[in-house]
Amino acid sequence: MADTPILLRENQYHQIKAVLARLRMDSSARVVFLVDKDGQEIAVQGEVGNIDTTSLASLAAGNVAATGGMAQLIGEKEFPTLSHEGERESIHISVIGRLLLVVVFDERSTLGLVKLRSRQVSQTLSTMMDEITKAEFDESDSPFAEITDEDIDSLFQ
Amino acid sequence: MTFINYASREINCKIVYYGPGLCGKTTNLQHIFEATAPQARGKLISLATETDRTLFFDFMPLELGTVRGFKTRFHLYTVPGQVFYDASRKLILKGVDGVVFVADSQEERMDANVESLYNLEENLRAQGYDLMKLPYVLQLNKRDLPNIVPVGDLTAELLRKEEPVVEAVAATGAGVFDTLKAVAKQVLTELRKG
C-alpha cells in the first residue's frame, strides 16, 4: 500500500515560506527551496526567474538519493550536505531528516555563509515538518474524500 | 508519496514506469511529452548515457486538470532497465504512488520480463510496499512486432492480481494514454480511501 499522503495546510505553508525568506536574506542567496526526499517541491522563495523548479526538486532528490547510496556502500549513513560550485551559480543542499534544503546562490554570497545559515534554520524546519507528518491523516481532510468516478474520468477527456 | 498542498491547491503523485531494458519505458514518457499541450507538462528530463540508455531516470511532471479545485499533478518517472542498475531502481521507487510494468512482448524478452517483475516485487518490498496493494498496471508493449508472445501466454506469466492489462505500441503512442489513465485512476481512487 502507498504511503499516507502528506497534507500541508495553508498556515504551515506560510510559516515555512517565512523561514525560507529569512534564510534567503541572511545568506544573500538567489533562491531557496524546500524539497521532500522523494522529489516533491514543498516551498520556494526568491528569484525563481526561468528556473524549472519542479525539475530542480526532482533532480536534487535524485542527487541526494544517489550520493546517499554511495555513502552506504562505504559505511556512512548519508552525506548530510552536498555542494556544487559553478562559474557563476552554485547550489548547496542540506539533508534535514526527510527534507532537502536547497540554496541557489551566486557571487553575492559564499559557500561558508550559505552553510552556516542553512545549519541555523535546520532545526526549525525539522520541527515544522515533524508536526506536519505526525498529524493524523483524516479521510475527511482529503479534498478527494468525496471524489466521484465522474470527477476522475473528467480529467482524461 | 502523495503530497497535498492546501496553499497552492495542488495534489502531487508519483508514478514509476518499470520493466526490462529496452522495453519502451522512456518511449512511453516521450510519447506523453509530445502528445501533451506544453502548458500541461514540464520538461522531460532524461539522465541517459551517450547511447540514449537510461542511466538514472527520466522525469516529467504532468498536470491532468483540476478536481474539486485542486490541480492534479503526476510526476512520471522511469527506471533504468538494465540489470546492473539495480541500486538506482531501488532509489526511484521511494515514495511511489503507482507503478506501470512495461513488458516487452517479443519472445526472446520473456525471461527478461519475468526477471524484471521479480526484481520489482523485491525492490518494492525493500521499500516497505506490497505490489498487491499498490495501484498497478501491466502494459504489453511492442504489439506491432512479428515475433510476439500471445497475450494469453504473457498474462499467464506476468499477471499478479486483477490489474488492468493494456496492449501498446509505445513508439506510435497506441495504448500509452490508456495505460496512464488506468494507473492514474487507481492512484486517485486510493486517495479517496485515505
Residue B59: which of B20, B87, B88, B22 has the closest Cα? Answer: B88
Closest partner CB to B59 (pick from A37, A58, A154): A58
Predicted confidence (pLDDT) per residue in B124-163, tens digit:
999 999 999 999 999 999 999 999 999 999 999 999 999 9
- β-bridge mates for residue B59, sequence order: B45, B77
Percent of chain A with pLDDT over 70: 92
Residue B55's H or E segment, with its range, is strand B54-67
Domains of chain A: 10-154 (3.30.450.30)
Predicted ipTM of the assembly: 0.83
Q: How far is A50 from chain B (nearest CA, A)?
A: 12
First to last CA, chain B: 12
Assign domain B3-193 one CATH number from 3.40.50.300, 3.90.226.10, 3.40.50.2000, 3.40.50.1220: 3.40.50.300
The cell for B44 is 522531460
Percent of chain B with pLDDT over 70: 99
Predicted confidence (pLDDT) per residue in A33-59, tens digit:
999 888 889 999 999 998 999 999 999
Write down the domain spans for chain B: 3-193
Residue A152: which of B72, B176, B170 has the closest Cα? Answer: B72
- Tell me the residues of chain B between 153 and 172 that have a Cβ less than 8 Å away from chain A: none
Closest partner CB to A66 (pick from B42, B45, B91): B91
| B71-100 residues labelled b (16+ CB within 10 A) or e (exposed) | ebbbbbbbbbbbeebeebbbbbbbbbbbbb
